[in-house]
Amino acid sequence: MFFDKMTSGKVTLKDDLRVTRRRSVAWSTVTLHFSIAMKSGQTIELDARQSLIWEKRGRRWLIVHEHTSAPLPG
């Protein structure tokens, strides 16, 4: 597995968070930056985009769908 090959990882949210709400449904998007250190000594720096769909159920907002994607290496 990929995680077995890691020594550490860090995820940082960029400053482009957007949230839109329509009654009891909301959606959010944000860019994430991953910094990963591998046991082999390699480091990986990667930006990805995350989208979440939220639904208000009672007093709580729950994530009902999540999608994260990253561009293919060039």
Q: What is the CATH number of the domain that holds 39?
A: 3.10.450.50
pLDDT value of residue 74: 65
Please state, in angstroms and as integers, the Cα–Cα distance from residue 59 to each residue in 11, 26, 55, 62, following that order: 29, 14, 10, 10
Question: Which structural domain range is residue 43 located in?
Answer: 3-67
Residue 34 lies in a domain: yes
The whole-number average pLDDT for the span 47-73 is 95
Residue 27 lies in a domain: yes
Residue 74 lies in a domain: no
65 residue type, one letter: H
Residue 30 lies in a domain: yes
The whole-number average pLDDT for the span 39-57 is 96
Is the pTM above the cut of 0.85?
A: no
Residue 28 lies in a domain: yes
